[in-house]
């Protein structure tokens, strides 16, 4: 049946088609409605012009509850990262190799772990393997052998599609950042992470895009372009793109909430003062100066109050305040203070009961009434 003439309403009757004076803007379709396609334009590079794909780390675009300013400097080196155009020089065999997305982040298939020369040359310190959650119990022998042979940390991220994809991205971002920061503090040099999946084109590529969005605070389209121009065989389905859009909304919400709780005004003022006082500290490439060491942490404990207090009052009485950890920001450890209050009250109650039991034993009384114990506790 021609949908231009009539459309079935599901009950065997046909309703009239569009009026004759109507102008059809697109062909009619009887399929279920679908969300619009997220178009990612192709980046046009010119040989005589520098690359426009540049990601510069900024403390304002990072969630302060996930990364401190010092951690951001350790991970990124405080410099601008430029995409390398590999589109025109791309060959089919390059899909079996790994490519640098950042100077500390490499993307490729799991088959690259068999290349011992590559692992030694690139000085990989951690291998992050993205696999299907249904294959979580499967052992990857090649990854285990390469990790033990070269002393590389190997971690797995099980991706359950589609409900667990965003949780897997959040977990992967945390694993990468924790490794880079801990490795630098333990060894005094930067680490390098190799992100892999079976093909290196879909599951691991989505993790890399999600990591770029979280680290640099960029949108979905720039992050996909930055990744695809350096590993041309990456494939992002529309469902994955829509999940990345949702991931970007989550990151913006986190930054908005954290910005109200942990303002960065003090950090910005300190950086501006350092640049005004010591302009020669900034490099020619616009990189950040090394962060100054944090002042020692001071602990202030407020005096104790009466034993019988409400829960909210007790939480305000005993409070541990950390000063100087984040440029003057104060953090009240309310949970620890609550436990301290409860333990103190319990000790006082037990002391009263023991004291009254001692008096009873001296007086020869052996009967103990429940109402007396309740009065003792109160």
Q: Write out the chain in H/E/C secondary structure.
A: CCCCCEEECCCCCEEECCCCCCCCCCCCCCCCCCCCCCCCCCCCCCCCCCCCCEECCCHHHCCCCCCCHHHHHHHHCCCCEECCCCCCCCCHHHHHCCEEEECCEEEEEHHHHHCHHHHHHHCCCEEEEEEEHHHCCCCCHHHHHHHHHHCCEEEEEEECCCCCHHHHHHHHHHHHHHHHHHHHHHHCCCCCEEEEECCCCCHHHHHHHHHHHHHHCCCHHHHHHHHHCCCCCCCCCHHHHHHHHHHHHHHHHHHHHHHHHCCCHHHHHHHHHHHHHCHHHCCCCCCCCCCCCCCCCEEEECCCCCCCCCHHHHHHHCCEEEECCCCCCCEECHHHHHHHHHHHHHHHHHHHHHHHHHHHHHHCCCCCCHHHHHHHHC
Q: What is the mean pLDDT of residues 226-230?
A: 93
Q: What is the CA radius of gyration of the chain?
A: 30
CA angle 73, 276, 267 (to 5 degrees): 45
The whole-chain average pLDDT of the chain stands at: 75
Is 272 within 8 Å of 289 (Cβ atoms)? Answer: no
Cβ pair 212, 223 in contact under 8 A: yes
Question: Does residue 194 contact residue 172 with C-beta atoms inside 8 Å?
Answer: no
Over residues 127-170, the pLDDT tens digits come to 999 999 888 888 889 999 999 999 999 999 999 988 899 999 99
With cut-offs at 50, 70 and 90, classify the pLDDT of residue 305: very low
Q: What is the pLDDT of residue 273?
A: 53
Given a cut of 60, whether residue 279 has pLDDT beyond it is no
Specify the CATH architecture of the domain 54-262: Alpha-Beta Complex (3.90)
pLDDT at res. 323: 36
Residues of the chain with CATH 3.90.190.10: 54-262
Give the largest Cα separation in the chain, rounded: 108
| Rounded-to-integer distance, Cα 104 and Cα 194, Å | 8
Residue 67: pLDDT band by 50, 70, 90 thresholds?
confident
Non-local (6+) Cβ contacts of 250 within 8 A are 166
The whole-number pLDDT of residue 263 equals 58
Q: How confident is the model at residue 223 (pLDDT cuts 50, 70, 90)?
A: very high
Q: How far apart are CA 226 and CA 108, in angstroms?
A: 15
Cα distances (angstroms) measured from residue 288 to each of 75, 80, 106, 215, 354: 12, 10, 24, 16, 63
pLDDT band at 351 (very low <50, low <70, confident <90, very high): low
With a cut of 60, say whether residue 201 has pLDDT above it. Answer: yes
Residue 299 CB neighbours (<10 A): 8
């Amino acid at each position: 049946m021609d949908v231009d003439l009539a459309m079935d309403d599901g009950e065997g009757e046909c309703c009239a088609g569009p009026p004759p004076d109507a102008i059809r803007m697109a062909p009619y379709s009887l399929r279920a409605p679908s969300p619009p396609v997220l178009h990612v334009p192709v980046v046009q590079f010119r040989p005589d012009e520098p690359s426009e794909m540049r990601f510069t780390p900024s403390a304002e675009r990072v969630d302060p509850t996930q990364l401190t300013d010092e951690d951001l400097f350790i991970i990124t080196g405080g410099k601008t990262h430029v995409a390398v155009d590999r589109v025109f020089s791309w060959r089919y065999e390059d899909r079996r190799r790994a490519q640098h997305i950042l100077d500390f982040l490499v993307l490729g298939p799991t088959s690259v772990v068999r290349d011992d020369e590559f692992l030694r040359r690139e000085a990989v310190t951690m291998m992050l393997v993205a696999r299907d959650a249904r294959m979580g119990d499967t052992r990857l022998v090649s990854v285990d052998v390469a990790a033990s042979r070269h002393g590389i940390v190997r971690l797995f991220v099980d991706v359950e599609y589609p409900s667990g994809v965003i949780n897997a991205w959040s977990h992967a971002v945390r694993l990468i950042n924790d490794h880079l920061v801990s490795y630098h503090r333990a060894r005094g040099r930067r680490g390098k992470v190799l992100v892999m999946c079976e093909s290196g084109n879909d599951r691991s590529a989505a993790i890399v895009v999600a990591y770029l969005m979280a680290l640099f605070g960029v949108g979905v389209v720039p992050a996909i372009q930055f990744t695809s121009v350096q590993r041309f065989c990456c494939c992002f389905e529309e469902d994955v793109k829509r999940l990345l859009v949702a991931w970007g909304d989550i990151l913006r919400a986190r930054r908005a909430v954290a910005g109200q709780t942990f303002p960065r005004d003090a950090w910005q003022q300190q950086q501006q003062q350092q640049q005004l006082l010591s302009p020669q500290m900034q490099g020619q490439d616009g990189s950040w100066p090394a962060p100054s060491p944090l002042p020692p942490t001071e602990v202030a404990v407020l005096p104790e109050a009466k034993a019988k207090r409400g829960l909210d009052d007790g939480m305000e009485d005993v409070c541990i305040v950390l000063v100087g950890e984040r440029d003057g920001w104060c953090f009240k450890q309310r949970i620890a203070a609550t436990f301290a209050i409860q333990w103190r009250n319990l000790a006082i109650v037990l002391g009263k009961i023991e004291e009254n039991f001692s008096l009873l034993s001296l007086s020869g009384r052996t009967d103990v009434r429940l109402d007396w114990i309740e009065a003792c506790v109160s």
